[in-house]
Structure 1
């Protein structure tokens, strides 16, 4: 149904014509695509989105018969009629023509688009909840009356699902039903809002908005680690972080003064976009795509604008110019990221993000490191005394570090590009988690060649090697050159024709950056270019250790190499200086430390080294998260037709021109943008956010098109209510719990959801709110409540993603890799924590309409398909939940297990008819399982949870049928 026709159906009875409500939808729907904001594609040089232009040419206020607009939409001539028949458009229906005529006759009063006007808080009378006032006024005009309050058992279930995502327990239902005090309902609301479950319930919608997933997307769809940002979101909702701060930290936490680690983690919001590891892509093309995704996600989530429509040309319906799009793009064009990413792990920039428990352990490791360091420092006088005594006895000293030495080849070898020295396959074998040091002296006039290697004999083959490439030293340690390994290179070339010492150290952290991998030239630590940093996979290295070869025939070395040494540990700077023959004093001191320390000193030194090693090993297990950073100065251009390689006019970072400007003095960066978004002068943000909270509670927003507050979006059914809520949200300090409590405390929210045929005919979608909301639960709630009522649910907050059941072979069939379900409690965690692969989303979630998370989605959709019923009846999750629920019925249900089941699942006792039907089912299934005991045993094998050995299998299987019936009931999967 077209927007204009839909809005006509929702017109208040006997309402005066209002431009934004009645006329703008018609013009936007029928006219703006050719006569709107898009300057490049405008026909006949006619604008109907601007009052002065429309009234100058085709609208004569007060005179419909002289208005060309009305003539063109009513003419019988197909050649002249608008919208044009030759373009496939239908003529305007009589109702729309009548509205246009009435509007022009009334003087054609104009309004700026409602969403672009700053909201004002309408006055409401005392003694009535403001929400109820607005709703009842509309109902009164429509000749409707509100519904009575829902029964208490239904109300507590509704509220619990809405605010925590989980059903109430029978004890919680009884506590509320039996509490007759005036404040019982408010007390229930406050308890649920303060529950840790509430934070998890709020987080999942935000994850969908943010396109959060555990993989990169596109065809390769490699693994990434972003769950520490997901946990940040949960923590923010648990702390009831004000929404303005919630916004600023996610969009620009890294730009705040002295940002805390948590504020940097928050910026991962805009690193949740898809990234591509496809071979052959153009790096700049995809870097532009990532920035464009951030523009469109930001505008959808916070502004409710379809900004993507202005990427290639001016917006056809809203006053968003292509310049506005790229001015917003400029805010996100400074992040130092690549378009081509590697298929596994996180991409720069990222930070280590320890959990609270990991932080405590890390602090303990740091304390031990400091303690052992201080002990070692306290022994320095004794060390100097012992060293002095030893030194007097020692004259000439031929020493080099020997601890951890696994390969040594001191002889000088000469190469002319036609030979190599093969030291065999048994020496210097290292994997991706093994620390190492490689050391050699070399001399060459060539600009390329393999100095030493243990990799397959082709360029950048599997294994590790030190090369000269274009005169620079390069080290790689690779499983697969395209996406798994590391590659670093010195920024400066070496001087040809001279002897040089090269050393490479790698600490086994699987990282190249931040000093984890270093190249030393003549004893000096070199600045490096990180070419590739995805050293995440074991290296099955079958190649021999070679000197003078390792990159194929083209990279045979030309020159001399000598004193090759390999260690299975990271040598310190002083030890490398000795190998580079930089200091005789260092050499003597290190020789003493290595071979002649007195026992007490040696024990203290070894303890300090062990403490550092253990700390570093533990730190390597800390999860990372990709974050935003502004460190690249890039010019931004309007891209012609949106193409990355077609730059046009240069633009600066700015907000859309039709909205209030950035405050004077605001920085033209993401921090300035974030503060502008949550400024009280911004007419959109508060409206957009409270509208989504309304959608969460009522199934549909006050503006149904939650993603589009522009001209093509639906105007609010209750505009005064939307503005009141928006201003109340800001007045409360952007307090999310306050606005949720305000909504659920209203009588409008508490209405019964029962509907009469007359009301269903008058308002089938319940847009007028004459009854309580009734709609199917979101997918995660359907699964989570099945786990909850069965007793399987694991209520553990945060942590890495988990893999519950899914059909076997699905990943192999549709993509790559094998899906291995978790075991134990991880199978039964809330769906919020389910591992999300973008190309093969969790089938139980997608079946019930979860978005794919490939792009930002803010509208909740609901379909009704046979596959959903099949899933509830046959998926192992629900079969297992049914049998465990049956065990609860037997253990906790006493003499009335069926009544217990109804109260646990639905919050009420069964009706006589339901009890009779359940009794018949129990009798029939009981006979079946008594005569087919093996069938009962097979049923009890479904899922990993062990069956209760103290219960009769036939009885459990019988009641599992009742449990399955309940889990499949419409009432069970619907919010009543």
Structure 2
């Protein structure tokens, strides 16, 4: 009986021994070509296990087969449950490692993964596992939970290409893959890219002429510095932070009443413009109220943690909603600042990352002491615009310490902020995440796998911020560097910006990420310095031209052998249209506005109560504010913005989707703002003393930000002449009636309408709203 039971194991051992002895011959199906010198568990082995093995041999106990966990070294090196004399892994000996023998078995009843799973390891993956076992089968702590160390700059062959340290790491990867970087983009396209990235606005004709005429070696850097000093820089940089902080102008839930958090948005713009360093920027928002002798500005900054949804419905259970508010803050802290999915541990221990449910509620405790209630009042008057704890901003405040707040009237202005109770509210583990199912009491703390909470720090939000910016914290710097990289290159070094955990994507350039993270900390978390380094790099300046060879090798541009090419953010689509037409109202800050919107949207999805039950469109200059100032009602977010993938700000969002749909084309063809901009620009151009060809060329430069080719001009001029001949007076009148901006007097309507058609066509070019 014993022999009979052991027979399959003996056969597998014999097969493995034969394979092992012949491995130097690189048998068919198991090529060892291009294997790394040292095989890494984190970067080479764990991705294979995650894709092919961990569904049955991973952290999920309910689905685990044979009691074996291959992601846990203790289990992997232990005797097998069904074969006590055998082990899944034997360090240095693949011929004795059952996990290896099963993946190379030719017996389909023994083969792993089972054929029925439709999963199969490639020859390279098998060779990696074999080499890893030979090298000792060393497990590693997850890469993101190890504090970054600053690596040396790598050696590259094309040593004359790098312009700063970033380029060495990028070029090394390219050379490994047989790629070469593109040449630098032409000046016109490069300026458009830079201006959109740093200010969210297209370059003006004056900027284009100035840059094209500057032949000095420092011309590009001078333009970078000029744009970094532009007040629009703060507005552009604020957009990603408003997504992360889930900023909106309504409370959410059914009634979805109006809220006045916009002074906090004014502060964010101000903070970016004055280059507030990231550690202070975040600390003020997390715990400004707990700083010694806290100022009103520091208190205003804490509006960051009161941007979550708040109910105003009658009949709710207050404690249930209060716990929801705390949960929202906790989850936002995990995703937005730590780049981990802490919310997965709300109801049970995290299945994939080393976070227990207890640790989730220890972190929860930092945000659980706010002096708030689940429901404060029903929807109504000005007192409900903000929820306690709150602060009032007086006219004297905006003349002194809060002079960056754009307060347009003398009405009461109140903002929800943070403020703790005088006593400590007890925090419990909530069984299955249910608000009133109290388990064990816990004290404030942090996940030990990231960094144990230092006993020197106070157990409050200020202490949490000190922990966050402890140089030993492995995540804080990496996560923000990655978010900024995503802003300028279209994709993070870690593609899953909000998930640096076990289920997240591996960094494409881990050494570069670590170098940037350490450098960011070494230079006191200086955001503008980091931004300048990124846009000054040769990597950033590359042409976006794509060859067939590069498309075949690197279709997603992971290795950055060409410039990034993608549509700009939803807010910037609007900004580009308004700025190029001359309509843009450049006022910074202030209350959100309600531009053109299809009738009936709010009225069809409302409780019928409060200031936001009916959409009352704004008029005059309010119609031409930047996209970031468009009022966001959470239950009915701005439709045009949504079509271009803007966040509805329900929850923390660190990465927007990038879609390409017919609805986007329909917006550019029919949106009143685009048509009005086309009309206004056409009216202005027709007043100039120049020919049609010159007018069209100027419009093209203002919108697309480059000089059109002769062929492009010919097509557009031919279209203009055709429209001029065929447009009837009635059709021209109808076209020119769009929008509220007054039509110039004494203009030839057919001429303006024909030019409007041409300009509308230019706005509809893919290149217009694409960063390339």
TM-score range, shorter chain: 0.7 to 0.9
CA offsets, 1:500-543, max 9 Å, x none? xxxxxxxxxxxxxxxxxxxxxxxxxxxxxxxxxxxxxxxxxxxx
Indicate the residue corresponding to 1:656 in structure 2. Answer: 447
The verdict on how the C-alpha distance between 1:893 and 1:802 changes in structure 2, with shifts beyond 3 A counting, is farther
Task: Please give the alpha-carbon distance, in whole angstroms, between the structure 2 residues aligned to 1:178 and 1:793.
Answer: 27
Are 1:748 and 2:544 an aligned pair? no
Q: Give the 3-state SS of the residue equivalent to 1:877 in structure 2.
A: helix
SS of structure 2 residue aligned to 1:972: helix
What are structure 1's unaligned runs of at least 5 residues? 1-10, 364-617
Task: Tell me the distance in 2 between the aligned counterparts of 1:91 and 1:352.
Answer: 63
SS of the residue corresponding to residue 439 of structure 2 reads: strand
Q: TM-score by structure 1 length?
A: 0.70
**Partners of 1:33 and 1:316 within 8 A in 2:** no
Task: Please say if 1:301 is aligned against 2:336.
Answer: yes
Is 1:885–2:655 an aligned residue pair?
no
Which residues of 2 match residues 341-380 of structure 1 at below 5 A? 341=376, 342-343=378-379, 344-354=384-394, 358-359=398-399
1:827 to 2:615 alignment:
no
Which residue in 1 is equivalent to 2:77?
55
2:145 matches 1:110: no
User: Is the alpha carbon distance of 1:672 and 1:360 closer, same or farther for their aligned partners in structure 2, counting shifts above 3 Å?
Assistant: closer
CA contact (8 A) 2:308 2:328 kept: yes
Question: Is 1:133 the equivalent of 2:154?
Answer: no
Q: Distance in 2 between matches of 1:294 and 1:214?
A: 18
Whether the 8 Å contact between 2:255 and 2:313 is mirrored in structure 1 is yes
2:226 aligned partner: 191
Secondary structure in 2 matching 1:176: helix
Name the CA distance, whole Å, in 2 between partners of 1:304 and 1:638: 23
Work out whether residues 395 and 410 of structure 2, in 8 Å CA contact, stay in contact via their aligned partners in 1. no
Offset of residue 204 of structure 1:
1.1
The correspondence for 2:712, drawn from 914, 922, 937, is 914
SS in 2 for 1:901: helix
SS at the partner of 1:638? strand
**Map of 1:220 onto structure 2:** 255
For residue 97 of structure 1, report the CA deviation from its aligned partner. Answer: 3.9
Are the aligned partners of 2:296 and 2:401 in contact in 1 as well (CA < 8 Å)?
no
Instruction: Tell whether 2:100 aligns with 1:100.
Output: no
- Tell me which residue corresponds to 2:508: 717
What residue number does 1:855 align with?
A: 651
| Residues 1:832 and 1:652: Cα distance change in structure 2 (over 3 Å) | same
* Cα distance, 1:74 vs structure 2: 5.7
Q: Is the 8 A contact 1:890 1:897 kept in 2?
A: yes
Match of 1:275 in 2: 310
Asked if structure 2 preserves the Cα contact closer than 8 Å seen for 1:29 and 1:712, the reply is no
Offset of 1:837 from its aligned partner? 0.4
Deviation at 1:275, TM superposition (A): 1.6
Bigger Cα Rg: 1
C-alpha distance 724-926 of structure 1, shift in aligned 2 (>3 A): same
* Alpha-carbon separation, structure 1, partners of 2:438 and 2:104: 44
CA shift, 1:100, in A, is 2.5
Give 3-state SS (helix, strand or coil) of 2:336's partner. helix
Does 2:42 correspond to 1:20?
yes
Distance 1:156 1:12 in 2: 43
Alignment match of 1:799 (pick from 590, 605, 615):
590
Report the 3-state secondary structure (helix = DSSP H, G, I; strand = E; otherwise coil) of the residue aligned with 2:234: helix
CA distance in 2, matches of 1:172, 1:356: 38
Between the aligned partners of 1:235 and 1:818, the Cα distance in structure 2 is 32
Deviation at 1:51, TM superposition (A): 3.0
**Partner SS for 1:329:** helix
Q: Is 1:158 aligned with 2:202?
A: no
Contact 1:311 1:325 in 2 (8 A): yes
- Structure 1 34/226 Cα, relative in aligned 2: closer, same or farther at 3 Å? farther
Residue 53 of structure 1: CA displacement?
A: 3.5
Judge which range, 268-277 or 15-24, deviates more. 15-24
Q: Which residue of 2 aligns with 1:699?
A: 490
Match runs of 1:184-333 below 5 Å: 184-333=219-368
Distance in 2 of aligned mates of 1:77 and 1:848: 52
Alignment of 1:925 onto 2:723:
yes
- Aligned counterparts, 1:576-975, within 5 A: 621-631=411-421, 632-815=423-606, 816=608, 817-892=613-688, 894-895=690-691, 896-929=694-727, 932-975=728-771
Closer, same or farther: CA 638–892 of 1 in aligned 2, 3 Å? farther
Higher relative contact order (CA 8 A, sep 6+): 1
What is aligned with 2:150? 121
Name the structure 1 match of 2:13.
Answer: none
1:764 to 1:281, Cα distance in 2 relative to 1, 3 A: same
Distance, in Å, in 1 between the alignment partners of 2:401 and 2:326 is 37
Give the aligned CA root-mean-square deviation in angstroms.
2.5
The residue matched to 1:285 in structure 2 has which SS? helix
Provide the C-alpha distance between the structure 2 equivalents of 1:804 and 1:39, rounded to a whole number of angstroms: 53
**Helix, strand or coil at the partner of 1:338:** coil
Aligned pairs, how many? Answer: 709
Matches within 5 A, 1:400-549: none
* Cα distance in 2, alignment partners of residues 173 and 250 from structure 1: 38
Distance in 1, matches of 2:33 and 2:583, equals 49
User: Are the aligned partners of 1:795 and 1:829 in contact in 2 as well (CA < 8 Å)?
Assistant: yes
Residue 851 of structure 1: how far off its partner (Å) = 1.6
> What's the CA shift for 1:907?
2.0
State the Cα distance separating 1:124 from its structure 2 match.
2.2
The residue aligned with 2:23 is none
- In the TM superposition, residue 745 of structure 1 has moved relative to its aligned partner by 0.7
Distance 1:619 1:136, change over 3 A: closer
C-alpha separation between the residues in 1 aligned to 2:598 and 2:137? Answer: 61
Q: Is the 1:296–1:306 contact (alpha carbons within 8 Å) kept by the matching residues of 2?
A: yes
Q: TM-score if structure 2 supplies the norm length?
A: 0.88
2:164 maps to 1:142? no
Paired residue secondary structure (1:351)? strand
- Partner residue in 2 for 1:169: 204
C-alpha contact (below 8 Å) 1:241/1:735 kept by paired residues: yes
The secondary structure found in structure 1 opposite 2:428 is strand
- Take 1:893 and 1:655, find their aligned partners in 2: how far apart are those partners? 68
Give CA-to-partner distance per residue, 1:220-243, whole Å, 9 cap, x none.
211111101111101110110000
Shift of 1:334: 0.5
Q: What is the DSSP-based 3-state SS (H/G/I as helix, E as strand, rest coil) of the residue aligned with 2:552?
A: helix
Change in Cα spacing, 1:33 to 1:221, as seen in structure 2 (3 Å) is farther
**Cα deviation 1:935-973 (Å, max 9, x = unaligned):** 112211101101111321111111111111111111101
User: How big is the shift at 1:92?
Assistant: 4.6
Q: Is the 8 A contact 2:52 2:120 kept in 1?
A: no
CA contact (8 A) 1:32 1:317 kept: no
CA distance in 1, matches of 2:201, 2:269: 16
Q: Secondary structure at the match of 2:478?
A: helix
Label 1:283 to 1:81 Cα distance change in 2 as closer, same or farther (>3 A): farther
Q: Which moved more, 1:619-628 or 1:188-197?
A: 619-628
Deviation, structure 1 residue 647: 1.5
Say which is worse superposed, 241-250 or 138-147, in terms of deviation: 138-147
CA separation in 2, counterparts of 1:625 and 1:703? 35
**Residue number in structure 2 paired with 1:601:** none
SS at match of 2:663: helix
Query: What is the CA deviation profile of residues 228-284 of structure 1, one whole-angstrom value per residue up to 9, with x for unaligned ones?
Result: 111110111011000000010000100001100111111111111112233332221
Alpha-carbon distance, 1:662 to partner: 2.5
Distance 2:546 2:577 in 1: 27
The change in CA–CA distance for 1:785 and 1:357 in structure 2 (over 3 A counts) is farther
Are the counterparts in 1 of residues 669 and 760 from structure 2 also a CA contact under 8 Å?
A: yes
Deviation at 1:106, TM superposition (A): 3.3
Deviation at 1:108, TM superposition (A): 1.6
